[in-house]
Structure 1
Amino acid sequence: MTTPRDTPASRRVRANGDGTVYQRKDSRWEAAGYVLAPGNTRRRVRVYGTTRKEALAKLTEKIAASNRGLPVPSAQGSVAAYLTYWLENVAVHHLRENTHTRYTTCVHRYLIPGLGKKKLTKLTAKDVRTWLNQLRTTCQCCTRRIDAQRDQPRCCAAGQCCHKLLSPLTLTYIHSVLKSALEHAVREEEIPRNVARNVRTGTPRPRRFEPLTTNEARQLLAATRGHRLHALFELALHTGLRKGELLGLRWEDLDLDAGTAAIRRTLQRTSAGGLTTLPTKTRASERRIALPSRCLHSLKLYSEQQQREREAAGTTWQHDGHVFTTVQGRPIDPTNLTRAFTTLLRKAGLRRIRFHDLRHSTATLLLEQGVELVVIKELLGHAHIGVTATVYAHVRLRLQRDAIDTLGTALVGRETTETARSDGDEPPPCTALVR
C-alpha cells in the first residue's frame, strides 16, 4: 500500500483551493489556481517557474494575498496609458483647472518619458527610486533641448552643459503626482499596492522668503497713499489675505458696521474660462476675519471713489459686486495687480518681493508682536496649526533667541548685583543646606 509520502512530487494530490502544479512540455513548471478578482469575483491565474518549488511559491503568494482580501491586478496596460486615463477621467473632476494643468505638464514632461513604457502591474519601488535618482542628476536643458530652441545657443547645444538640475521641491512634486495616480489605481483595484509610497525622497527645505520689516512695511504704506488701490494694499498687509481672496471679495462679504469680512471665494485666471471666481483654496480658508479700523476707513473712502467712477463711466460700467475693480467696474486681473505692486515697490525704494510675501510679512510681524500662533492660524486660514508653525519656524527661533538673550541679561545683572553687595561691609549670606 502506497502512502502520500511515497507518491512522486509531480503526482501528489493537493487540497481543494491550493491549485494545481504540473510540468509543461517545454520543461517549465506551471501552477494555476483561483484567486479574488475585482468586483468580488473569482478568476483563475497561472504562474510559471523553472522549478516546481518556484512555481508553487508564486501561486501560494497570490492565494495568500487573495485570502487577505486583495484582488488580483486587472490592469494590462502601461504606466503611460493609465496616467493618461487618470488625467482625462479622474483628476479633471477633482482638481482645479490650474492644478490639473500643472499635473498634465508634470505627467507628459517627466512621468511618461521616464516610466511610461513599463507595465503598470510590474512597476516596482526599485523602478521608481532608480528613475528619481536619474532625474535628480540629469540636466534638463540637455534633455528638453532648451538651449537648442534658442536663436543663438550658448550652453548645452554649444557643447558647454549648464547642468540645469531640478530642485528638490520639484522632485517632491513629481513624486507626489505619481503617488496620487497610483493611489487611485489601488482604489480601482488595478494594482494591489502603491509602490511609490515605499520610496522616500526626503523632505525638501521650504522656500526661503524675506518678509518686510516694520520700517519697510511703513515705507510701502506711505508709497500707496494716493494710489487708487491703497485700500487693497493696506488690507493685504494688515490681514494677510491671499491675492485671489482680495480680488474675489464682494461688497456683500463686508460688514463695515461690525468691522468683519467673510472670505468665501477667490479670483483666478484660467486658460479656459478667463477670470473665474472659485471657492476658497481649502475648507479652512473659508473664514470670517476682523478688520482693523484703518482698513474700515480706507474701504469707506474707496466705496465713495468707486461710486464716482461709476457715474463717470456711465453705460460702460460693468460691475458684478466685486470690491476691488478696474475703472470700468470689471474684476482686476491678478497679473495687473502684480505689476502695480512691483511699481509701488520701486517707488518706495524697497527690494523686489512677491505679492504673496505680504502675507508672510503679516504673519511675521504678528509673531514678533507676541500674537499667539493659533490666532495667526485662524487669520491666515491654514488647515492645521502645524502648517503655520512650519512655515514660520525661523521667526519662532528668532523669538526664542531674543527670549534667551533677555534671560541671560537678567541673570548677569542679578549676578553683578550680588557681587556688588558682597564687596561691602555686610556679612555674606548663610550657605543654604544642600539636600
Structure 2
Amino acid sequence: MTTPRDTPASRRIRANGDGTVSQRKDSRWEAAGYVLAPGNTRRRVRVYGTSRKEALAKLTEKIANSNRGLPIPSAQGSLAAYLTYWLEAVAVHHLRENTHTRYAACVNNYLIPGLGKKKLTKLTAKDVRTWLNQLRTTCQCCARNIDAGRNQPRCCATGTCCSKRLSPLTLTYIHSVLKSALEHAVREEEIPRNVARNVRTGTPRPRRFEPLTTDEARRLLTAAQGHRLHALFVLALHTGLRKGELLGLRWEDLDLDAGTAAIRRTLQRTATGGLTTLPTKTRASERRIALTTRCRQSLKLHHEQQQREREAAGTTWLHGGHVFTTVQGGPIDPTNLTRAFLTLLRKASLRRIRFHDLRHSTATLLLEQGVELVVIKELLGHAHIGVTATVYAHVRLRLQRDAIDALCSALDGPTNTGTGNADGDEPPPCAALVR
C-alpha cells in the first residue's frame, strides 16, 4: 500500500482550487491555477520555477492576491504603448489643451526614451528611481542631440559639453506625469499598484520671484498714465489677477456701481483653437472680488475710451464683449501684452520682471500691510491656503522679524534709573536680534 509520502512529487494530489504543479521536459517546474481577472471573471495562469517549491510559492502568492480581491494584471504590452494609449484616449478628455501638450512633451522626450521598453507589469520602483537618478545627472543637450540640430553647433556637438541638466522642478513634474499615467492603469486594473508612488523625488524649492516694492509699483502706475491699457495695469496691481483672467474679463462680469468683479473665465492661446476663452481651471479660481475706487475710476475711463475706438472702427469692430481689447475690438494676445509690459518697465526705468510677478507683488504688499492670509488666498483664487502660505513663506518670515522687533522694544521699555523692584523680579534684557 502506497502512502502520500511514497507518491512522486509531480503526482501528489492537491486540494480543489489550489492549482496543479508538474515538471516540464526542460526540467523546469510549472504551476497553474485559476485567479481573479478584470471584469469579475476568472482566468487560468501559469508560473514557472527551477524547483517545485519555487513554482508553488509563485502560484500561492497569485491565489492569495486573488482571494483578497486583487485581479491579475491584464496588460502585456510595454510602458511606451500604454503611455501612448493614455495620452490619446484618456488624458486628452480630462486635461486642457496646453496641459495635454506639456504632458505629451514629457512622455515623448523623457518617459518613452528612458522607460518605454519596460513591460508595464514588470516595472518596479527601483526601475523608476534608477532612471530618475540617471536623468538628474544627464546632459539633455547630449541626450536629445539639441546642439546637433542647430545650423551652427556650438557646444555638445563640437566636443564641449554644456552640462544642460534638468531642474529639480522639471524632474518633479516628469515624475508626476508618470504617477498620473500609472494611477489610471491601476484604476483600469491593468496593474495591481502604482510603483511610481513609492519613489520620492524630494520637494523642489519654490521658483524665485522678484515682486515690486511700494515705490516701484507707484513708478509703474505713473508710467502707465496715458497708456490705452492703463486700467489693466491698475487692476493687475490692485487685485492680483492672472494674465489670462485679466484678458478674459467681459463687461458683463463687472458691476462698477457695487464695485465687484466676477472671475469666471480665462483667455489662452492654444495650438488648434488660437485665442480661446475657457472656464477657470479650478472652482477656487472662479470667484467674486472687490474693486477699489481707483480700479472703478480707471475702468470707467477705459470704457469711454473703448467706445471712442468702437465708433472709429465702425463696421470692422469685433463685438466680443471683452474689457481689454485691441483697437479693432478683438481679444489681446497674451504675448502682445507681455511685450507692452516690458516696454512699460523700460519707460519707468524698472528692472525686468515677469508679468506674473505683478500678482506676487500684490500679495506681498498685502501681507506687509497686515492683511490676513485667508483673505489673500480668496483674492488670488488659490485652491488651498497652504499654497498661499508656501509661496509667500519668506514674506511671512520677514513680518515675524518685524513683530519680534516690536515686541522687543515693548519689553525693553524706557530705561529705569531707579533701584528697581524690591523683590528682584526684574525682566531680563532683550537679546539683540541678528538679521
The TM-score with structure 1 as length reference comes to 0.96
C-alpha RMSD over aligned residues: 1.4
Q: Which residue of 1 aligns with 2:399?
A: 399
Give me the whole-angstrom Cα distance separating, in 2, the residues matched to 1:190 and 1:287: 39
Q: Which residue of 1 aligns with 2:136?
A: 136
Q: Which residue of 2 aligns with 1:208?
A: 208
Give me the whole-angstrom Cα distance separating, in 1, the residues matched to 2:306 and 2:16: 82
Alignment pair present for 1:280 and 2:273: no
Structure 1 alignment gaps of length 5 or more = none
Specify the code of the residue in structure 2 equivalent to 1:258. A
SS in 2 for 1:43: strand
Alignment pair present for 1:429 and 2:426: no
**Shift in Å at residue 6 of structure 1?**
4.9
- Residues 293-337 of structure 1: per-residue CA shift (max 9 Å, x gap): 100000001111100111111111112111100111001110000
Specify the code of the residue in structure 2 equivalent to 1:252. E
Give me the whole-angstrom Cα distance separating, in 2, the residues matched to 1:430 and 1:63: 79
Give me the whole-angstrom Cα distance separating, in 2, the residues matched to 1:291 and 1:399: 26
Specify the code of the residue in structure 1 equivalent to 2:106. C
Q: 1:7 to 1:421 in 2, by over 3 A?
A: farther
Give me the whole-angstrom Cα distance separating, in 2, the residues matched to 1:402 and 1:428: 30
**Shift in Å at residue 12 of structure 1?**
2.2
Q: Which residue of 2 aligns with 1:88?
A: 88
Give me the whole-angstrom Cα distance separating, in 2, the residues matched to 1:432 and 1:222: 56
Give me the whole-angstrom Cα distance separating, in 2, the residues matched to 1:387 and 1:257: 33
SS in 1 for 2:53: helix
- Residues 208-257 of structure 1: per-residue CA shift (max 9 Å, x gap): 11111111111111110110000000000000000000000000000111
Specify the code of the residue in structure 1 equivalent to 2:123. L
Q: Which 10-residue stretch deviates more, 396-405 or 340-349? A: 396-405
Matches within 5 A, 1:115-154: 115-154=115-154
Specify the code of the residue in structure 2 equivalent to 1:169. L
**Shift in Å at residue 432 of structure 1?**
5.7
Identity %: 87
Q: Which residue of 2 aligns with 1:234?
A: 234
**Shift in Å at residue 272 of structure 1?**
0.2
Alignment pair present for 1:65 and 2:58: no
The TM-score with structure 2 as length reference comes to 0.96
Q: Which residue of 1 aligns with 2:323?
A: 323
Matches within 5 A, 1:327-406: 327-406=327-406
Q: Which residue of 1 aligns with 2:432?
A: none
Matches within 5 A, 1:289-304: 289-304=289-304
Q: 1:432 to 1:207 in 2, by over 3 A?
A: closer
Give me the whole-angstrom Cα distance separating, in 2, the residues matched to 1:101 and 1:107: 10
- Residues 17-39 of structure 1: per-residue CA shift (max 9 Å, x gap): 11111111111000001000010
Specify the code of the residue in structure 1 equivalent to 2:200. R
The runs of at least 4 consecutive aligned structure 1 residues that moved more than 6 Å come to: none
Alignment pair present for 1:307 and 2:311: no
Specify the code of the residue in structure 1 equivalent to 2:227. H
Q: Which residue of 1 aligns with 2:196?
A: 196
Structure 2 alignment gaps of length 5 or more = 427-435
Specify the code of the residue in structure 2 equivalent to 1:430. D
**Shift in Å at residue 283 of structure 1?**
1.1
Q: Which residue of 2 aligns with 1:169?
A: 169
Alignment pair present for 1:42 and 2:39: no
Number of equivalenced pairs: 426
Q: 1:399 to 1:432 in 2, by over 3 A?
A: closer
Q: Which residue of 2 aligns with 1:252?
A: 252
SS in 1 for 2:35: strand
Specify the code of the residue in structure 2 equivalent to 1:77. G
Give me the whole-angstrom Cα distance separating, in 2, the residues matched to 1:6 and 1:365: 87
SS in 2 for 1:149: coil
**Shift in Å at residue 258 of structure 1?**
0.6
